[in-house]
Structure 1
Amino acid sequence: MAASRKALAYGPALLALIGASSALAQASTAPEAAQIEEVVVTAQRRSESLQSVPVTVTAFGADQVQQARIRQIDDVAGLTPGLQFDAFPASQPRISIRGIGSSDRGAAGDPSSAVFLDEIYLGRPAAVAFDAFDVERIEVLKGPQGTLFGRNVVGGAINVVSHRPDLDRFDAAAELTAGNYGRLEGAGVVNAPFADGKAAIRASGAWRTHDGFVKNTFTGGDVEDQDTRTGRLALRVEPREGVRLQASLDGARDRATGPAQHVLDLDASDPSSALWRVDRDRKHTAGSDDGYQDRDTWGVRLQADVDLSFAILTYLGSYRDLDYHAAYDFDGGNPTFNRAGISGGNDEASDFSSHELRLSSLPQSRVRWVAGLYAFNSQTDRRDSLVINLGRPGTEIYTQSAKLQSYAAFGDVTVPVSERVSLIGGLRYSKDDKDYRVDNLAGNTLFRARERFDVAVSDSYKAWTWRAGVDFKPAERHLIYAMASRGFKSGGFQDTPGSAADARDGFEPEFATQYEVGQKSSFLGGTLVWNNTLYVMKYADLQTRRTLPNLSVVTDNAGKATIKGYETYLAWRPFSGARLVASYGYTDARFDEFEPEPGVDYAGNRISRTPKHKLVLSPSYDLLLAGGGDVRFAVDYHYESMIFDDNANDGPERRDPTNFFDARALYTAPGDHWSVSLWGKNLTNEVTRTFQAVFLGANFGAYNPPRTFGVTLNWKH
């Protein structure tokens, strides 16, 4: 009810604010050049100005991606309220949007918040591998996207949009970086039109290396290093008017050690705590080996667009392949350091393909709509191993094989009912068929005999998802909208069950229904943009992970939760050369019903890995030089309040509030052909925990990267 009262009070306040905007605009003396740049997004599967889309979206354009050194998903998360990122290991990211995420990496599980690369769904956590050097923009869509995007978008979506080949001109660019920890990076792109401007090819690539951030005092090696290669080749052909063809091939190769683990805390109530020694030295670890994180992934994408008399017909197809291997020392110690040892690893081979056929309205259509059919297929073979050594090893090895066939039909429409008001509606039907096999034929532990089993199961999951809303434009450059949307994530099966009965006991789908009201406005002649959103989300049957007394980890449906929040975004050019971007998100995510076991009630607890407050401030100033060129000084500050890493909310698995500062000074030469920047990340050398898990009497975890800095030279044709 409190949230409803806030929403009722919100509307009149917005109208009063918008009503005053004309006077503000007349009082402004800011020049036209100081206006906030327009950002075009495809959040509704069509190109639109960000300020006219009735969806909460955080977008990063190409210049911001380059200058702020946004390279991977974790860089995006640091600058986006409502988006959280953590990973163990880092090559298997866990993404959460507005409190909705998933820790299940099993072959028969799915992410709750999804990543799309050029509209292609990346269906496995380890497949989220790309380099942001040659991207046009990155969009973060918050809340259920159940009618338009792929499958299982219950929490939100991250859309990475690459630059497509340019038919009009030859283009080339290069980038070279050197920094501390032996950092060396290079990247380049070439765009070449041919066939009298009817075709173009674009090739881009990057390599990124640095030494390890952590020294292993036992092996003498470095841990948490980087050796990444990425590449993309794209072809665009327009053989005649009204026909557009695109094809692309991309790939990524990662080789890294780590992660660097530590014993962060002890649980004195557990006798097993005597096995461990606390080690909170971020610069060093003492693991019995350095570990490895090896990943190779590639994909092809085909798109064909044909203009019909009444619509645009689009076919979008893809195939992607993933080969992933990781091994790690979980406790971060060795026989001379700890009295026990825990290690593990993951091996995965996945391939997935998708086909989409859709019709969408012509750009000049008064009624804007899209309708289509979608199919997604995947095959995943995975092996998870766990070794617990108390003088003699106890080993568990789970092998999994999962096959998925997913089908959907969808439609979405925006109908103007007057010059100022439009109605929005969308509907999607989804059906997932899963076949799964899991075995534990080599399993034994030192604590409890483990049943050996080989189980094959299958199930089918169906759901209708929808959205309905209205947008109202009370004046030019102002939008007020209200939207209700529902998202769905299919059920699945256990990846590391303790028995055949557990293996057969899958988990059910989860659903989220969001109610949102928002406002987007431009003031002062376009020099000030201010957007606000209030939302309430009802989250049902959410899939959560827990450790059983026999040490196996299973996924259950937790019951119900309510997530309430407020987000605001402000971009302001107060005077020539100056710019301030500020964004803030408040998220109250709590369980309404959750009894993980008899006699234990988590109702009222906060959902794990969800801070209540997140603030991002990015001021910058451009100094024009007398001889031509300019220098930009910029700072990024982001704050997150305390989080719990476990739904119990009562153990050591919590992270204190964090404060991060990044900064850069960028000189651009006259003619805008080359530039050089001095940059630094985590300048105050903030230390925080990025992963935590309580196991056998100790809280094991890892730390964030330390202070890094360097110099980057850019050249463009």
Structure 2
Amino acid sequence: MKPLSIRLAAGACSLGVMAFCVATAHAQETMGQASGETAAAAEASQESARTLGTVTVTAQRRSESLQDVPVVVTVFGADEIAAARIQQIDDIVTRTPGLSFDAFPASQPRLYIRGIGSGDRGASGDPSSAVFLDEVYLGRPSAVAFDAFDVERIEVLKGPQGTLYGRNVVGGAINVISKRPVLDSFGAGASATAGNYGRLDGAAFLNAPVAGNTGAVRVSGSYRSNDGYVENPFLGRDVDDQETLSGRLQYYAEPTDSLRMHITLDGTRDRALGTANHVLELDETDPLSNFYAQNFDPDVTYGSDPGFMERDTWGARGEVAYDFSFATVTALLSYRDLDYGFGYDFDGGNPDPTSPGFNAINISGGNEETAELSSQELRFSSLPDSPVTWVVGLYRYNQDVLRTDSLILNADVIAPIELFDAFVADAELDSHAVFGDVSLPVTDKLTVFGGLRYSRDEKTQRVFNTDSNVPLRADDLFDATASADFDDLTYRAGLEYQLTPDHMAYASVSRGFKSGGFNGEPSDAAAAVTPFDPEVAVQYEAGHKSLFLDGTLIWNNSVFYVDYTDLQTTQTNNGVRIITNAGEAHIQGYETQLQVSPATNFNLAVAYAYTDAVFDEFVEDGVDYSGNQISRSPKHKVTVSPSYTLALANGPDLTFAVDYQYTSKIFDDNNNQPPELRDATSFVDARVVLDGLGNGMSVSLWGKNLTDERTRTFQGGFLGANFGAFNPPRTYGVTLSWDY
């Protein structure tokens, strides 16, 4: 059977690689002894061999080399973030194998890590794969609003998280870590960008020590804008534009050797027009399909309403840490406020019979959401020099959300008046957890690790559609309130074995849990008070991390298998998004990361992820989806990033870099039937960077999507047609940077 053969092949590959690591290490050790290499020289050689793998991460709540972490982590450092213009969540997605997302709209991203994600944006829903900003959980899709300027690094963790992080997630996590204030030096920097489509960006930071170098203040801000990627000739204006203003103010202090304090205020303001929708395939079995004009041109839309996106969000974060003789105690508090609005012309057409975009059926709608998110965390952790590393903690998260999802139908062929339908949901989440994790060295080579977490979520939701003039998406008008509690004990356990100083193997099992909830668009009052069940994923993983050729080559591999139970899946029926539980699914895959630097001026990074995500038991409305692929989960994803640096006369460096990404086809619906699938895509970004110009100056000429690949970022069927939107076109520009 195919799944078994895949598991055997992947396992054989992993075992073969581990055997090769041992054999290579043994041969190197033998040659070193034969040549009479001294112990000191051997130690120096081993340290040199780690130079390519000394990226520091905090994926396990402590600073350690990426090559020493027994989990799969994709890391983007500060230099790569700046050079590759990684600014928003979609820039991370395109560069990370095993990571995908639904981008309708891009201001409410829904992440999928190794096939695990959630289509639920309802007021009581939770993401299956989440974003953490400086350890703070962003529990609403529309709260994922940050600019990656002045960021230290971004870590993508794959698989269940929770024994180390405050809020449990079942699929994986993206951790964004900002640059902290520096105590002992003044620093400043700025950048300015101009590009096509009216692109105009600016960013700056300032770091200043205060109080005799025991404290420091860091201020950073950015402005991003473009005039719009899609022309609307009906309105005579462009849409899918951007105007984003972000800022962050930090204060960090070390009043004593044992006490550290960190306070952060941040905010983001977004304004945009769009999204630019299109009428795509027609459902010829539906007579309503005759009332639409198809439009497959990604650069043109004919919507009668330009649409809008408005988002204002700000947050406060406070952290205090104190080192006792036995442990470090850390208190972390956060608060975030969100005010969000999104409106769109769903059909992308207009009611003018003389227009090439004439649609006799005009569909529009949108979302409005206000939310308050807060968390409190208290944890005790081992000191940095402790031979046993451990952390225990208490966590509380509260979320209040008021959300309106509206639909407007204006069509004489359906009704003589404009029809308006709105679901209003007022939901509260109160979550408590206790967690702990430990890594225990058994020998100088073998370490065992494990953790436990108990989570309890209390959810209440009131949902009503009584403000509608007709129940378009429900059977009747209703007003219903319901409450439910969900709890689970999750864990991780595993071991890592240091085969040699350059080769580490690991194996682990982890369990993730996401609580249940209530539908935000129920069909009737009974459905409104009936919760969907929690989902659980148990992941088994084995892999290795290796250095070869005196540290000039890194090769990391892993294989995994996930038992996925009661996964919460979204099916759209007549415009209503219904969350139900699929019975069983499994996800299996293989990931490899290769980085090689054969010369001081050349570097090549290659990554590949194979993900086979399949429903084992899933029957809904009499339709059996067993054996189908889980939606939005590509089987194959490849990234290739070569770079070459040429040292010029008098000091400057000229770097040429390319980023290539391939993603296989994606199903947008669990039925796996056309037209709701996205074809395989290939994207190419490139840049030329002239660095070291003097006085901290550099200049970069960059381009994104150079082949002008246009693929569907969203699509969905409704009232006789398939509607969709496309990714941005080819963009390019020049960036001037200064760093003091």
TM range (shorter): over 0.9
User: Are 2:616 and 1:592 equivalent residues in the alignment?
Assistant: yes
Give the C-alpha shift of residue 547 in structure 1.
Answer: 2.9
Structure 2 equivalent of residue 492 of structure 1: 517
Unaligned runs of 5+ in 2: 33-41, 353-357
Shift in Å, 1:151: 2.3
1:207 and 2:223 matched = yes
State yes or no: 1:45 paired with 2:61: yes
Residue 315 (structure 1) shift = 0.3
- Match of 1:269? 285
The one of 89, 111, 114 aligned to 2:127: 111
Equivalent of 2:314, from 298, 301, 313? 298
Q: d(CA) in 1 for partners of 2:17 and 2:315?
A: 49
1:408 is matched with which residue? 433
Shift of 1:559: 1.1
Residues 24-39 of structure 1 mapped to structure 2, 5 A cutoff:
35-36=51-52, 38-39=54-55
Alpha-carbon deviations, 1:289-320, whole Å to 9, x = none?
A: 10000000000000001001111000000000
1:333 aligned residue: 349
Q: Please say if residues 34 and 573 of structure 1, whose CA atoms lie closer than 8 Å, have aligned partners that are also in contact.
A: no
**Equivalent residue number for residue 57 of structure 1:** 73
Contact 1:291 1:326 in 2 (8 A): yes
Indicate the residue corresponding to 1:177 in structure 2. Answer: 193
Between 444-453 and 540-549, the greater mean CA deviation after superposition: 444-453
- Whole-angstrom distance in 2 between the partners of 1:486 and 1:446: 41
2:267 alignment partner in structure 1: 251
* Unaligned runs of at least 5 residues, structure 1: none
Residue of structure 2 aligned with 1:287, choices 283, 290, 303: 303
Greater mean alpha carbon deviation, residues 87-96 or residues 295-304: 87-96
Cα distance, 1:478–1:327 mapped onto 2, change above 3 Å:
same
Q: In the aligned structure 1, how far is the partner of 2:295 from the partner of 2:243?
A: 27
Instruction: Give the alignment partner of residue 19 of structure 2, picking from 12, 15, 19.
Output: 15
Which of 583, 588, 592 is equivalent to 1:559? 583
In 2, Cα distance between equivalents of 1:447 and 1:97? 34
Among 389, 399, 404, the residue aligned to 1:378: 399
Alignment TM-score, normalising by the size of structure 1: 0.97
Identity over aligned pairs, percent: 56
Partner SS, residue 240 of structure 1? coil
> In structure 1, what is the Cα distance between the partners aligned to 2:10 and 2:508?
12
Structure 2 residue matching 1:356: 3-state secondary structure: strand
Conserved in 2, the CA contact under 8 Å of 1:468 and 1:483?
Answer: yes
Residue 285 of structure 1 aligns to a residue whose secondary structure is coil
TM-score (norm 2): 0.94
Report whether the alignment pairs 1:680 with 2:683.
no
- Shift in Å, 1:37: 5.1
Residues 421, 471 of structure 2: 8 Å contact kept: no
Aligned partner (choices 349, 373, 382) of residue 361 of structure 1: 382
Q: Aligned with 1:273: secondary structure? A: helix
Going from structure 1 to structure 2, the CA distance change for 1:424 and 1:530 (only over 3 Å counts) comes to same
Instruction: Give a deviation string over 1:134-181, Cα, whole Å, max 9, x none.
Output: 000000000111322232410000000000000010000000000000
Deviations, residues 268-293 of structure 1 (Å, cap 9, x unaligned): 12222112121011111000110000
Question: In structure 2, what is the Cα distance between the partners aligned to 1:169 and 1:76?
Answer: 31
Moved more, 203-212 or 274-283: 274-283
1:215-239 deviation digits (Å, cap 9, x = unpaired): 1121112110000000000001111
- For residue 597 of structure 1, report the CA deviation from its aligned partner: 1.3
Out of 98, 113, 134, the residue aligned to residue 97 of structure 1 is 113
Give 3-state SS (helix, strand or coil) of 2:255's partner. Answer: strand
Number of residue equivalences: 715
Q: For residue 34 of structure 1, report the CA deviation from its aligned partner.
A: 11
Question: Is the 2:421–2:473 Cα contact (8 Å) retained in structure 1?
Answer: no
Deviations 1:636-665, CA, capped at 9 Å, x for gaps: 000001111111001300111101000000
Instruction: Please say if residues 474 and 522 of structure 2, whose CA atoms lie closer than 8 Å, have aligned partners that are also in contact.
Output: no
User: Are the counterparts in 2 of residues 443 and 450 from structure 1 also a CA contact under 8 Å?
Assistant: no
* 1:281-680 map, 5 Å: 281-336=297-352, 337-391=358-412, 392-445=417-470, 450-548=475-573, 551-598=575-622, 600-671=623-694, 673-680=696-703
Q: What secondary structure is seen at the aligned counterpart in 1 of 2:598?
A: coil
Aligned equivalents of 2:386 and 2:513: distance in 1?
A: 31
Measure the CA separation in 2 of the matches of 1:580 and 1:408: 42
SS in 1 for 2:404: strand
Name the residue aligned to 2:150.
134
Work out the CA distance in 1 between the residues paired with 2:11 and 2:723. Answer: 46
1:2 matched to 2:23: no
Would the alpha carbon gap of residues 22 and 231 (structure 1) be closer, same or farther in structure 2, given more than 3 Å must change? Answer: farther
User: C-alpha displacement at 1:393, in angstroms?
Assistant: 1.9
Return the alpha-carbon distance in structure 2 between the equivalents of residues 252 and 280 of structure 1.
Answer: 34
Find the aligned partners of 2:695 and 2:634 in 1 and give their Cα distance: 41
Q: Which amino acid aligns with 2:637?
A: K
Residue 18 of structure 1 and its aligned partner are, at CA, apart by 3.5
Output the amino acid matched with 2:496.
Answer: D
1:698 matched to which residue of 2? Answer: 721
Higher alpha-carbon deviation: 500-509 or 409-418: 500-509
Amino acid at match of 2:598: P
1:160-171 correspondence to structure 2 within 5 Å? 160-171=176-187
Q: Is contact 1:636–1:662 with CA below 8 Å preserved after alignment? A: yes
Distance 1:128 1:448 in 2: 28
Separation of aligned partners in 1, 2:471 and 2:225: 41
Q: Distance in 2 between matches of 1:705 and 1:45?
A: 37
CA distance in 1, matches of 2:96, 2:567: 23
